[in-house]
Amino acid sequence: MSAVRDEVGVGAPAAPAGLAGVRVRCMDCGAEHAADRPLTRCPACGGLLDALVPLDRPVRADAFGAGLPAALARSGVWRYRQLLPPLPDAAIVTRGEGNTPLYADDRLAAFAGLAPGHLELKHEGHNPTASFKDRGMTVGVSHARAVGARIVACASTGNTSASLASYAAAAGMPALVLIPEGKISGGKLAQTLAYGARVVQVAGDFDQALRLLRELTDAYDVYLVNSVNPFRLEGQKTIVFELLEQRGWRVPDVIALPGGNLGNTAAFGKALGELLRVGLIDRLPRLAVIQAAGAAPFAAYHAGGWRDYAAVVAETIATAIKIGNPASTPRARRAIEQTLGLVTTVSDDEIMEAKAAIDRAGIGCEPASAASLAGLRRLVAEGAIPPDATAVGILTGHVLKDTEAVIAYHLGDGPDGPRPGANRPLSVAADLPSLERALADALHG
């Protein structure tokens, strides 16, 4: 124990160079702090922190990416440097993240109950490690490098861990990852192992793993990159920047996203507020946060008029958002209030039905991502979103992130036999007549 203490250290490392203008502010007490060390809660009051971005200079949309080193100009995160904290170039660890497609598919618009051309899907599964986490990780790990951190760590439902493992490997830093044992998909575990992080399987759920890790990072000089880290959220803001730039800065009526630990919701609210402030947009879209019904403490908090917050023990097929006590709840509440946002829940069946529709359109996503479309469908059906509204749904992770869910859906039975649209493989003898029958079957569905 004491050997670890000697090696890792318990005090702040020596103040690094190049971080003079990098500061954070507490959302509760307003105290500002120099971010020349790892900070995930306010040293004065324990509140959540926001990274400060210098917005006093004019921001020109046609200048995004200009004057940057080539690797940064190519990154769909760092090209928005004018709207990010001023980290030193030398610390930046990038894998060319972002630059993800914005898809339109009228079958999916119809599925949601929206008019043709009124639904787009921003596919964050097209990031280097196949989820949106890479956008936050490039900034988080770069800040970790800038402050001279020795080791980076996270608790994760799988995507953050895969992303951290990759970016830590890029930076040549060791990474420690806590995952709830047996509760993350095989693909995400495989990525995290392959990229070389030290994986610790905790006998508990995600919420317990994060609590445990925070005890460790409070006691040791270990850099925490969960989304309580304000720099992670700075990178995730660029999902909003990029989708609006792809839309020629035309603001949709609604942006729908899944809510788990609520880091993305918080990041989206901050991004939109900043774009409004610098004049790149002239109105705010409504954020629509969709939680899985079995993991919906934020939806309950919202439905109760923000009066009583209660954590839950989470259960859902969408393991990425199986979170019962979201760490960014106060920031996410701020984002919903600021955008007159919507919060709703969807059942696991609704999630899997929406996922099957997205997959069948050739787009594909992991279960948690499909909550965006399932939630839009529900909100339109309930009349909270009119059918002629324009909406962008965020697909947070790639279809290959959770192949167990795909195989179980298509090959397994539901309570009433095969599930809607189940696509079972044919097994044929190795002769032409058998294959001809398969050909007829493929042609006629």
Query: Which residues form the interface with ligand F0G (CB under 6 A)?
Result: 131, 133, 156-160, 227, 258-265, 320-321, 366, 368-369, 396-397
Smaller CB distance to ligand F0G: residue 94 or 129? 129
Alpha-carbon distance 212 to 204, whole Å? 10
CB of 420 to ligand F0G, least distance (A): 23
**Smallest distance from ligand F0G to CB 254, Å:** 17
Distance of alpha carbon 242 from alpha carbon 249, whole angstroms: 9
For ligand F0G, the closer of residues 251 and 321 by Cβ is 321
Side chain identity at residue 138, one-letter code:
T
Determine the Cα–Cα distance for residues 121 and 138; give it in Å rounded to an integer.
23
Q: Quick count: other Cβ atoms within 10 Å of Cβ 303?
A: 13
As given in the structure block, the two tokens for residue 326 are 């979201």
CB of 343 to ligand F0G, least distance (A): 12
Least CB distance to ligand F0G at residue 31 (A): 25
Two structure tokens written together for 100? 């993800």
Smaller CB separation from ligand F0G, 137 or 144: 137
Shortest Cβ 232–ligand F0G spacing (Å): 9
Q: How far is the CB of 51 from ligand F0G (least distance, A)?
A: 16
Q: Please, which residues have CB within 8 angstroms of residue 30's CB and are 6 or more apart in sequence?
A: none
Residue with Cβ nearer ligand F0G (75 or 131): 131
Please report how close the Cβ of residue 234 comes to ligand F0G at its closest, in angstroms: 13
Contact 36, 52 (CB under 8 A): no
Looking at beta carbons only, is 82 or 265 nearer to ligand F0G?
Answer: 265
Those residues with Cβ within 8 angstroms of residue 295's Cβ, 6 or more apart along the chain or in another chain? 260, 312, 314, 315, 316, 318, 321, 322, 323, 324
Nearest distance from C-beta of residue 69 to ligand F0G, angstroms? 29
In whole angstroms, what is the distance from residue 365 CA to residue 135 CA? 18
**For ligand F0G, which is the closer residue by CB, 75 or 157?**
157
User: What's the rounded Cα separation, in Å, for the pair 432 and 305?
Assistant: 65
Helix ranges, 220-339 (H): 230-246, 263-278, 297-303, 329-338
- Which of 275, 331, 276 shows the shortest CA–CA distance to 83? 275
Minimum distance of ligand F0G from residue 362's CB (angstroms): 19
Sorted by sequence, the CB contacts under 8 Å of residue 299 that are 6+ apart come out as 259, 289, 291, 343, 344, 345
Q: Report how far apart the first and last C-alpha atoms of the chain are (Å, whole number).
A: 63
In the complex, minimum distance from the CB of residue 191 to ligand F0G, in angstroms, rounded to a whole number: 11
Give the span between the Cα atoms of 301 and 44, in whole angstroms. 27
| Closer residue to ligand F0G, CB minimum distance, 64 or 206 | 206
Check if the beta carbon of residue 188 is closer than 8 Å to that of residue 162: yes
Nearer to ligand F0G, 75 or 264 (CB): 264
**Cβ-based nearer residue to ligand F0G, 24 or 320:** 320
Residue 364 or residue 397: which is nearer to ligand F0G going by CB? 397
Lookup: tokens for 325:
């006590």
In this structure, the dihedral spanned by the alpha carbons of residues 128, 132, 136 and 138, taken in order and rounded to 10 degrees, is 10
Length of the chain: 445
Spatial distance between the Cα atoms of 33 and 40, rounded to a whole number of angstroms = 11
